[in-house]
Amino acid sequence: MVIGAGPAGEVAAGRLAEKGLDVAIVEDRLVGGECSFWACMPSKALLRPYEALAELKRNPGAAEAVTGTLDVAAVLARRDEIVHDMSDDAQLPWLEDRGITLIRGHARLSGVRKVTVNDEEIEAKRAVFLTPGSGPLMPPIDGLDAVDGAWTNRDATIAKEIPESMVVMGGGVVGVEMSQAFQTLGCQVTLIEGARRLLPNEEEFACVELTEALREYGVEIRTGRKATKVEQAEDGMVTVHMDDGSTATGEKLLIALGRQPLTQDVGIEVVGLEPGKGVKVDAHMRVPGHDWLYALGDVNQRALFTHMGKYQARLAADHLLGHDHVLLHGADGPLSPRVVFTEPQVAAVGHTTETADKAGLIVDVITTSTSGNAGGSFYGRDAPGTVQWLVDRERKIIVGCTMTGAEIADFLHAATIAIVGEVPLSRLRHAIPAFPTRSEIWLKLDA
Amino acid sequence: MVIGAGPAGEVAAGRLAEKGLDVAIVEDRLVGGECSFWACMPSKALLRPYEALAELKRNPGAAEAVTGTLDVAAVLARRDEIVHDMSDDAQLPWLEDRGITLIRGHARLSGVRKVTVNDEEIEAKRAVFLTPGSGPLMPPIDGLDAVDGAWTNRDATIAKEIPESMVVMGGGVVGVEMSQAFQTLGCQVTLIEGARRLLPNEEEFACVELTEALREYGVEIRTGRKATKVEQAEDGMVTVHMDDGSTATGEKLLIALGRQPLTQDVGIEVVGLEPGKGVKVDAHMRVPGHDWLYALGDVNQRALFTHMGKYQARLAADHLLGHDHVLLHGADGPLSPRVVFTEPQVAAVGHTTETADKAGLIVDVITTSTSGNAGGSFYGRDAPGTVQWLVDRERKIIVGCTMTGAEIADFLHAATIAIVGEVPLSRLRHAIPAFPTRSEIWLKLDA
């Protein structure tokens, strides 16, 4: 039994079914989950056209072919296509092909290996995979409850119209991505972040470059200020009051202040856990003391990324199937690969200087310009960007990498393989990037 | 003493000078070499605008912003910028900053550690690095010598006008890249290749996909036919006669039939070598029996790529400096990384099925679609593309990878690190590509 048909649930179900197990998956919203309909996929649909156009404009000879600006209606139409007009019909054949039983309804744990859904209790033969996902965290800010139509990621990503103005609360990934998307689609965005800077968990240089870019797009950024009160006028305009006395007003308010595990109503009290809290798991994604129960994806709060949920699903499914692939390699959890799809993009894997320091590692910091090589004459030309590697001075391997720049999301996997593979620098120097590609950034390690 | 200021010569000179050696570099053409002025750089300048425009057109919302086609004059102007209007002034500060003496003139070996240039004999204290590069191979085809204005890569890449029609002889990298560039810039290209197919050293699927794309651009492709005679009419039109009796006529004729080492006149007879032939070297790029003489880049015929010439330069310079970094890892020579910058691009590293077979390796072939994942909804959308890995069945490591698709040149380095790093599959499964990027192709290895 798999509770939740988001990416983690689907991958686990698919992998188990392909190995011959009888699998049922329960979903009370849309098969495909938050990622497919309200997060990664629609947000990229809103961001990518601007990015592609920006890159084209940096290419003389092609730039002259552009005489217009983004077609907002076409962007939204393509986004609707990406989310299949909020229908999960397209996801069902994948389940059917694998003989997975789909049960539509809300599932709760109701005993050992028991799940109750639609008033029926079902006993799993082998195991229950709990993957309810996460939802937006709604902070207790004075007046927020009274706002009619405050947005979370679930509203912003599937918005049918671009508001004239918007206040975004929260400068994490959702906040910066949606700020850029809406600003470049014609909205005046004000972005508020309580911490000193945007993307507070990433390297300072990445934050600086992104902040500068967002400002150039016209986003008004206010950091180091916390919202104290929210008010809505009769015409619907929302005003956020901040702790320094300043205010920000917009037609829409987007709350992007973090995520909470969706465990209020999935029966985790049956195994002695507190509803509303995350579910701790061991390295196999099993809930300690309950060898029949795995918890995957955002619910275990290890790494809130679709790709890591899917990874956990592979580990957990393989474990149930008798294969132990667990590797305590140190590129899991907060060290997981992560990409912010703004322009410039921010991509990172492994340690930042801050987490390396906290982990007691002595690292050498090596930096270069993302486009400051021959390849940069053709791709990401004149776009800002920095690459930074952290080299463990003792072990002579890379333990962290942060990159910024135009269209560098797919550069990250080379770093991920180097870090997770613990490839020594003495070997990496023989891995030669092709000329003239921007991958020549890697030559900096053999300078 | 470094003979030749192409990429290999420059990197060697720079590395030695940075370590405190007195370095002189001799060049009789332009500092920067074939790559900077007549090959990699100007060819990419001719190809990239089309590619960027093609990608934009695949992005609804941004595609609507395009109302024109390529501006050929602007493409050529940007190409001129890339080659600095055929001046090497911009390259000189790099040499000056490192205290490298530039000698303009033609250099010949004239004895042990001795080089004669401009009638002056200079004795190197430590070593001579020979890096004269390669030039186009001109085959002995009846009538070819009599053609007025037949082009090689050196003419095509820096052409000031796009001819109305062109016959390209040779379906290797230069041939396919120039065919696409000129065809998409308004020329009617006929491409002739003597072998059964284009890119005969790469995987069949890559050839098939590229051939189909070139045909769609309008290139007329004729493979399996050899030129027997070339004739030029009074109006300048050139006709190539082929061994099946057919003919191809164009305003220009481009010869792209391979490369030859430029050793006719560099004095290699002094060390007992035959002028006009390549120079064999050991793993340190030293000429056997002459411990003062290194031969780098195209001249040693190991791997005719700028990036490999630069790699050889690092190895050789480090060897002279007393560091032995040589690694017989099997991703050198014909197994080197290589990228064809057509649309789709073709990128490969390590073995093909054919070379793996010849090497006696038993490999499992794993393939997937380059854009058949969530990332492909946004990048390279609806563009053809295939990824193929070769896994050594015994050692459980990747020994070859070939990729095709839109803008995948920078995907290759992840494969290069995996292959050169000999990262086991059991470890690679923990290197997680970020969602939604096309790097999720790598998940296929953990399917």
Q: Is A337–B434 a contact, with Cβ atoms under 8 angstroms apart?
A: yes
Alpha-carbon distance B95 to B88, whole Å? 11
- What was the pLDDT predicted at B325? 81
Chain B neighbors of A432, CB-CB under 8 A: 307-308, 311, 331, 336-337, 416, 420
The yes-or-no answer to whether B2-32+88-135+260-320 and B144-257 have a common fold is yes
Chain A neighbors of B68, CB-CB under 8 A: 64-67
The helix/strand/coil state of B219 is coil
ipTM of the complex: 0.97
Topology classification of domain B333-446: Enolase-like; domain 1 (3.30.390)
Q: Is B432–A416 a contact, with Cβ atoms under 8 angstroms apart?
A: yes
Chain segment B155-176, per-residue pLDDT in tens: 999 999 999 999 999 999 999 9
Alpha-carbon distance B415 to B396, whole Å? 14
pTM metric for this prediction: 0.97
Alpha helices in B321-428 (DSSP H): 353-358, 412-420, 425-428
Burial class (CB in 10 A: 0-12, 13-18, 19+), A326: middle
**Separation in Å, CA of B395 to nearest CA in chain A:** 16
Alpha-carbon distance A202 to A418, whole Å? 20
Chain A neighbors of B76, CB-CB under 8 A: 61
- What was the pLDDT predicted at B447? 85
**Interface with A, mutate which of B332, B341, B422, B430 (most A CBs under 10 A):** B430
Superfamily of the domain at A144-257: FAD/NAD(P)-binding domain (3.50.50.60)
Q: Is A414–B414 a contact, with Cβ atoms under 8 angstroms apart?
A: yes
Q: Is B436–A306 a contact, with Cβ atoms under 8 angstroms apart?
A: yes
Q: What is the pLDDT along chain B (447 residues), one digit of tens a residue?
A: 999 999 999 999 999 999 999 999 999 999 999 999 999 999 999 999 999 999 999 999 999 999 889 999 999 999 999 999 999 999 999 999 999 999 999 999 999 999 999 999 999 999 999 999 999 999 899 999 999 989 999 999 999 999 999 999 999 999 999 999 999 999 999 999 999 999 999 999 999 999 999 999 999 999 999 999 999 999 999 999 999 999 999 999 999 999 999 999 999 999 999 999 999 999 999 999 999 999 999 999 999 999 999 999 999 999 999 998 877 766 688 899 999 999 999 999 999 999 999 999 999 999 999 999 999 999 999 898 999 999 999 999 999 999 999 999 999 999 999 999 999 999 999 999 999 999 999 999 998
Residues linked to residue B240 through DSSP beta bridges, in sequence order: B230, B248
**Separation in Å, CA of A54 to nearest CA in chain B:** 10
Question: Among residues B387, B377, B364, B392, which one has the least CA distance to residue B443?
Answer: B387
**Interface with B, mutate which of A82, A407, A439 (most B CBs under 10 A):** A439
Burial class (CB in 10 A: 0-12, 13-18, 19+), B384: middle
* pLDDT value at A74 more than 70: yes
Give A275-284 contacts, CB < 8 A, sequence gap 24+: A279/A130, A283/A326, A283/A328, A284/A315, A284/A316, A284/A319, A284/A324, A284/A326
Give A28-32 contacts, CB < 8 A, sequence gap 24+: A28/A104, A28/A105, A28/A106, A28/A107, A30/A5, A30/A86, A30/A87, A30/A88, A30/A91, A31/A5, A31/A88, A31/A91, A31/A92, A31/A95, A31/A102, A32/A5, A32/A6, A32/A7, A32/A88, A32/A91
Nearest CA in chain B to A314: B446
Categorise residue B236: left if φ over 0, alpha if ψ from -120 to 50, beta otherwise: left
Q: What is the CA radius of gyration of chain B?
A: 23
**Separation in Å, CA of B235 to nearest CA in chain A:** 31
Please list, in sequence order, all residues whose beta carbon lies within 8 angstroms of the beta carbon of residue B31, skipping any fewer than 6 positions away.
B5, B10, B25, B88, B91, B92, B95, B102
Report the alpha-carbon angle A299-A305-A310, nearest 5.
80
Q: Is A421–B423 a contact, with Cβ atoms under 8 angstroms apart?
A: yes
Of A69, A419, A436, the CB nearest to B65: A69
Alpha-carbon distance B73 to B90, whole Å? 23
Sketch the domain layout of chain A as residue ranges. Answer: 2-32+88-135+260-320, 144-257, 333-446
Q: Is A446–B56 a contact, with Cβ atoms under 8 angstroms apart?
A: no
Strands B114-117 and B107-111: antiparallel
CB-CB neighbours of B7 under 10 Å: 28
Question: Among residues A225, A240, A222, A254, which one has the least CA distance to residue A143?
Answer: A240
Q: Is B67–A67 a contact, with Cβ atoms under 8 angstroms apart?
A: yes
Q: Say whether domain B2-32+88-135+260-320 belongs to CATH 3.40.50.300.
A: no
**Interface with A, mutate which of B40, B46, B58, B59 (most A CBs under 10 A):** B59
Q: Is A430–B45 a contact, with Cβ atoms under 8 angstroms apart?
A: no
